[in-house]
Amino acid sequence: MEDEKMRRRLTLLITLILISIIITPYTPLTAENIPAPMDIVDIDHLKPIETFSGFLYPRIALPAFVSPQSSFKIVLYTPVTGNNVEKVYLDYDGARYELEIMSVDPRGEKTVVTVFVGDLPEGLYDLYVVAGGKTYVEYNSVSVKSSRGYPLKILWYSDTHYDTRRSGIKQRDNFLKLIWRANFINPDFVIVTGDVLNTATEENYVSFIKDINNLLRVPLILVPGNHDHHYKEDLFTKYLAPSNISINIGPLHLILVDTGPNGMNGWITNDQVEWLRQDLEKYGAMETKIIASHHPFSMLEESDVSNPAALEELLQSSDIDLVLHGHMHYSIVEDDKKPLRLTLPNAYEGGQPYTGFRILKVTGPHKIEWRYGDSKDPYPMFDLEVYEYQIQNGSYNGYYLKVVNNMAVAVEGTIFAKIKSGNNILTEGVSADDLNKIEFPTFTIYSTDVTVNPGETKIFKIYGEEDNEPPSLVDVSISSSKGKRITELIYLTLEDKVSGIERVEVSYTLDNETWSKATVYRLTYNLFYTEVKHDPDNGFALRVTAYDAEGNKFVSEPLNYSLIVSGAGPEPTAGGQEISIPYPETAIVVIVATLAIVVYIVYRRKLATK
């Protein structure tokens, strides 16, 4: 009788698992959806596809890494741009530099443009091409740096699950902190090993591009994960970058492998293995080699068209130095395999054994430092807090950086301030004499490298004027989600001219008597989000309080929405409505699967004791 009950419970849980798999459906591997192998270094292997910008290379998630006094190739999608290229220039927050066009080579659906880069300041540039009287732009797609040799510093995240939906608002809030951390660490590039987005929608891709363009100051390289695949079209390539590619960055050869859209096991096709074989032969002289994919290679499915055994044989015979994986939301170190394989946890709360990141340092041929001090575990994400409250686009007059290092190791980073031209600077936490200075037409960049030791909190300020004015409320945008109660989705835009917005508080009233605090999420430097729920027959009122980094305080008058409020109202009480964020779909799968495994183990043990 007891055995029968146990079997019924197990059957129910397995049924729930099968239902949950519908959320991340299995995609069978067929000849029609095999990812085509491509190699961005070899233009002939670059698949022509209509992209968001008209560019096939470079892209926002696969930039060109160039040095002054050198040339590089641009690949355009000819059906969109044509091949009548008239002008090419780079833009750095309004500072424009025209590049010499060395050649224009039409190749069917691809047009290859070779350009020469003169003596440009270091930075991450937007690339503009004028062709056929129209202008095309790929943001954050050209990284100019004077030296591309050793050492190379790589910041590695995985499974960021960026999301613009209400259910993913915490991930977007966390994503801004990932950008702040990356801007401070200032690596040669950031790499994310898949599940960049939580859902592959046009809205998510477009919002992601805007945030990266507006917020991130360092080059970004992305590998697609199963969450980044759209079931109908290749949105990852359309908006971000091609997949199944390799690129040379100084002495480093980086290979990016797309392991497909499946939620559980990935795949590797025979064509992909052959492409990898040819790639390793072609670039065998490169001193250091890294492969990055989303699914761990140990999880790849074996089938008529997926051949992980051939991949493993190739890896064993190669001189690849390191393999990077994500997907598992868990830290795994396979140092008993050749080559060394590392799997990184997710980049938001819930990673195992904790949420983490890695800083990889390529110090010489076949020499990569990957440990967190003496530990094999990753750097603990939330033990390094970085706050940068003012956007650095040359339009504002201040820079405020706060770094809290609770890690076991020191962290090296870079101060980077773009201050409007024509001002004498004021500094705190760093001497003005120690700052490097690069002047542009409308702004000046001040920068220097700093170290924050374990247990230290450091604040760095660079101002073009004293900050004596509070922030201002620029815009309030509200949309409604209707049900038994109405949920108001509220976006607040604020601005501070010097130090930037440090925090925003929102209080609300539903009855003109009791004021409560709402939960506020930060989405960008100046954009904040909150919610208020109320009955259909009642309105509500808001009060917004904002502090800049210098402590100047702004308090709005009550903002009335079908509720008449007299006076400013009392101070809000603690608590109030919390934003109820639904579990992400993947969490449901994990929870149900875990319960099934536990029940199955208990059931087997019970049988074994009989």
pLDDT confidence bin for 512, thresholds 50/70/90: confident
Q: Is there a common fold for 148-382 and 472-561?
A: no
Fold of the 54-147 domain: Immunoglobulin-like (2.60.40)
**Percentage above 90 pLDDT, the chain:** 78
Averaged pLDDT, 166-182: 95
- Mean of the per-residue pLDDT values of the chain: 87
Q: Is the peptide bond before 353 cis (omega within 30 degrees of 0)?
A: yes
Domain extent listing, the chain: 1-25+582-610, 54-147, 148-382, 389-463, 472-561
Residue 336: CB atoms within 10 Å: 7
The pLDDT score that the predictor gives to residue 43 is 76
Asked if the model's pLDDT at residue 572 lies above 80, the reply is no
Average the pLDDT over each of 166-170, 325-329, 481-485, 599-603 and give the range with the smallest value. Answer: 599-603
Q: What percent of the chain has pLDDT over 70?
A: 85
Domain 389-463 has CATH 2.60.40: yes
Q: Is the pLDDT of residue 607 over 80?
A: no
Query: pLDDT at residue 464 above 50?
Result: yes
pLDDT higher than threshold 70 for residue 441? yes
The three-state secondary structure class of 316 is helix
What is the token pair recorded at 71? Answer: 């040339």
Distance CA 610, CA 387 (A): 60
pLDDT band at 563 (very low <50, low <70, confident <90, very high): low
Secondary structure E strands in 453-539: 457-463, 472-481, 486-495, 501-509, 515-518, 521-522, 527-534
Select from 321, 249, 315 the least CA-distant residue to 277.
315
Strand partners, 506: 518, 544
Nearest to 32 by CA among 291, 261, 327: 261
Q: What share of the chain is helix, strand, coil (3-state, %, to 5)?
A: 20, 40, 40
Per residue in 288-326, pLDDT (tens digit) is 999 999 999 999 999 888 999 999 999 999 999 999 999
Confidence check: pLDDT of 592 > 60: no
CA 14 to chain CA centroid, Å, is 35
Which has more confidence, 558 or 13?
Answer: 558
Under CATH, which architecture does the 148-382 domain have? 4-Layer Sandwich (3.60)
Strand order from edge to edge, sheet including 457-463:
384-388, 398-405, 457-463, 426-428
Between 353 and 262, where is the model more confident?
A: 353
Average pLDDT over residues 498-520: 95
What CATH code is assigned to 472-561?
2.60.40.10
* Distance between CA atoms of residues 143 and 217, nearest Å: 10
pLDDT (tens digit per residue) in 198-225 = 999 999 999 999 999 999 999 999 999 9
Could you read off the pLDDT of 7-52 as tens digits, one per residue? 554 444 444 333 333 334 444 444 344 343 333 456 777 889 999 9
- Helix, strand or coil for residue 238? helix
